[in-house]
Structure 1
Amino acid sequence: MPTYLAAESAFLRSLSNRFLFLLFVAALTRMGGDVIKGSAAVMGVSLQISQGWLIVAGPVICLLFALLMENEAESLTVSRYSVLGEFAERRYPGKRSWLPRILFFSPAAFCLFFTAQFVSNLIPADMSCAGPRSLNVLIDFAHASGSPSIFCIGDVTGNMPWIYPPIQTYLYLALVVWCVYIGIQTTRTWSKFRGSDGLTSANSRG
């Protein structure tokens, strides 16, 4: 039992660390100008970090975190059954905590945030940041084959990625839905053993 509780605490601690990481990345995408300096190496390829690259990579990172969370939650369920045996189905009586549920849906929330940033602040370089953007960004396929981009907070054009609207936008929206689904499934798994109705469940067994 102590081993399982330690694993559960480590799971929530890991989710909290990922939440803080995504919050930090989201804050960086709201900074204008050339304030982000540095590079990242992925599989031997070095990339100069910018707000644009963070926005483009943000939804993918959110999905990876959500998939990792789902796998860890499933492993925790298996551990619960193997450690607790016949007591695994019993819920913990007591006050319901909303913190885990907030963490479960944080990848979806941040994925939606990065998608909104992509639509509103990372636009094709031949478009004007001054004018309002309408729903045309979702139906205009003029840049579907790719276009250099401009980051509208500070009008940054250097070290910005190529973008492929609106196909890329639809892809990000699909990632948001996927993250929401994973959050729902993880919440159901977590709620299976907890909840304010735990006392009622325990009493009915007695």
Structure 2
Amino acid sequence: MLSYLTAETSFLRSFGNRSLLLLVLCVLTRSGESVAKGSGIGVALDINPAVIVVFGPVLALILLVSLKLEADTLLLARETALDETISLQSEISPWLYLLFSVPAASAAFMAVQFMLKLVPSRPGCDNWSAAKQLSDTAFQGGSASVYCIGNLKQGTPWIYPPAQTYLYIACVAACAYLTWRIAIDWAKARGAVVETKAAESQA
């Protein structure tokens, strides 16, 4: 029982740390300047809001996939210790579900920033819109970009609308699904699923 509770606490701590990272990245997307510079193996990297917006939704999905794998392992531990964990039945706090929703919400936020704030540099911010980000195929082969907060152009990545936009929408949908699965699996230890199994075992 103690080892299971330790694993549960470790999972929540890991989820919280990764959610905090994503929240920090969301905050950084609202700045109009580079936030860090780094180099390694001869490659210089300028980390700015545009770079965060481009990689953010994919990063959120990767983090959620790793958390889902950890949740699956935790679920196996719950089932192994089912007789003991039945006694842990309790109402699940809404704050826990709020924590679970942070990665998916962060992915959605950064996808929206991509649609609204990172646009092809040739038409520029004043002549581009979210609708064009979803439908205009003129730049599907790639285009230099400008980040509309601070009119940032230096160090911004190339973008490939509208295919890239739909890729991020798919990332957000995948994040939402993984979040739902994690929440459902969590309830198996302390919700109606456990109560049903307990009733069946008594019968």
Offset of residue 202 of structure 1: 6.3
- In structure 2, distance between residues paired with 1:195 and 1:44: 53
Residue 94 of structure 1 aligns with which residue? 90
- In structure 2, distance between residues paired with 1:158 and 1:8: 44
Residue 149 of structure 2 aligns with which residue? 153
The gaps in structure 2 that reach 5 residues or longer are none
Offset of residue 188 of structure 1: 1.0
Is 1:185 the counterpart of 2:181? The answer is: yes
Contact 2:34 2:49 in 1 (8 A): no
Residue 2 of structure 2 aligns with which residue? 2
Q: Compare the two structures and name the one with the higher helix fraction.
A: 2
Worse-matched range after superposition: 105-114 or 157-166: 105-114
| Identical counterparts, % of pairs | 36
Contact 2:118 2:145 in 1 (8 A): yes
4+ residue segments displaced more than 3 Å: 43-46, 85-88, 195-206
Alignment of structure 1 residues 156-171 onto 2, 5 Å:
156-171=152-167
Offset of residue 133 of structure 1: 1.9
The gaps in structure 1 that reach 5 residues or longer are none
- In structure 2, distance between residues paired with 1:91 and 1:138: 51
Residue 36 of structure 1 aligns with which residue? 35
The alignment partner of 1:147 has SS state of: coil
Contact 2:116 2:130 in 1 (8 A): no
Seen in structure 2, the aligned counterparts of structure 1 residues 105 and 44 have a Cα distance that, compared at 3 Å, is farther
Seen in structure 2, the aligned counterparts of structure 1 residues 59 and 91 have a Cα distance that, compared at 3 Å, is farther
**C-alpha root-mean-square deviation of aligned residues, in Å?**
2.5
Residue 12 of structure 1 aligns with which residue? 12
Length-normalised TM-score, structure 1 = 0.87
Seen in structure 2, the aligned counterparts of structure 1 residues 5 and 170 have a Cα distance that, compared at 3 Å, is same
Seen in structure 2, the aligned counterparts of structure 1 residues 44 and 113 have a Cα distance that, compared at 3 Å, is farther
